[in-house]
Amino acid sequence: MNQNSLIQNYQSVINKVKQLSQQHRQSDSAVNLIAVSKTFPSADIRTLYEQGQRHFGENYIQEWTQKTIELADLDIEWHIIGQIQSNKSRIVAEKAAWVHTVDREKIAKRLSEQRPVNLPPLNVCIEVNTSGSDAKHGVNPSDVLALAQTIVTLPQLRLRGLMCVPSHMDDVVKLEQELALMQTLLQQLQAAGLAVDVLSMGMSADMEAAIAAGSTHVRIGSAIFGHRHYPA
Ligand SMILES: *Cc1c(COP(=O)(O)O)cnc(C)c1O
């Protein structure tokens, strides 16, 4: 995409997020925008950085590693929003600010062990399977509290909240049920005494429903960068 269209898309997403967050909550608690740049070149990230964007989301560790090298001169907060295999956890622990997709104790422990002690704790969210289907990533709602209680004992992690990718994007009633479940689960963690306040939900297609349901961090890719072409 040419850089003018990219900037235009970005500005209109910013305005949309601002408008929706004012519409659905107090005007002072804004919704954070994570620009999801997977499959798009470092040059696009640099363009948005120059517009003031600091939070970028990436899914594929190998692709992202290359971008951290190309963009090492920028003060980017990287959000990992894809699955992390154990053998790729070290670079994440060293270079990311956030991981949204923690879904098992083993990966949480590795990330904590590998997080350099001179860095602030890695911000993490637990990915929840809100769909009720086995095929989806994330932990089952009934297992969220136990995993959360483990994560808060890990010194180099800071549990921030919950993340989901709803499965019912085109069925509004089911979508809203999945998003509402997230709010319920977050309150359950708070009732158990955990200091969590993040709901990472909302993509290009469900941004409005997610913000209405209390999202604090939307992860927007194609509405900013355009249609993705995955390498074969
Ligand atoms: C790709 C991706 C996004 C962005 O999706 P868009 O539909 O392009 O906005 C958000 N979250 C996750 C987990 C993703 O994998």
The CA distance from 96 to 164, in Å, is 19
What is the CA(197)–ligand 1 centre distance, in A? 21
pLDDT value of residue 136: 80
Which of 52, 53, 50, 21 has the alpha carbon at shortest distance from 37?
Answer: 53
What is the CA(161)–ligand 1 centre distance, in A? 18
For 74-115, how does the pLDDT look when each residue is reduced to its tens digit (9 = 90+)? 999 999 999 999 999 999 999 999 999 999 999 999 999 999
- CB of 200 closer than 6 angstroms to any ligand 1 atom: no
pLDDT value of residue 231: 66
* pLDDT above 90 (res 1): no
- CB of 34 closer than 6 angstroms to any ligand 1 atom: no
pLDDT value of residue 45: 98
Beta pairing, strands 77-80 & 122-127:
unpaired
CB 45 within 8 A of CB 37: yes
Which of 42, 119, 123, 126 has the alpha carbon at shortest distance from 79?
Answer: 123
Would you state the structure tokens that stand for residue 32, as one six-digit string? 């954070």
The CA distance from 62 to 127, in Å, is 21
199 phi and psi, to 5 degrees?
-120, 105
| Average pLDDT of span 18-26 | 88
| Vertex 226 angle, CA 220 and 230, to 5° | 95
| Average pLDDT of span 12-24 | 95
Sketch out the chain's domains with CATH numbers.
3-20+31-225 (3.20.20.10)
pLDDT value of residue 230: 75
- CB of 100 closer than 6 angstroms to any ligand 1 atom: no
In this structure, the residue with its CA closest to atom 6 of ligand 1 is 221
pLDDT value of residue 28: 56
CB 91 within 8 A of CB 127: no
- CB of 80 closer than 6 angstroms to any ligand 1 atom: no
- CB of 79 closer than 6 angstroms to any ligand 1 atom: no
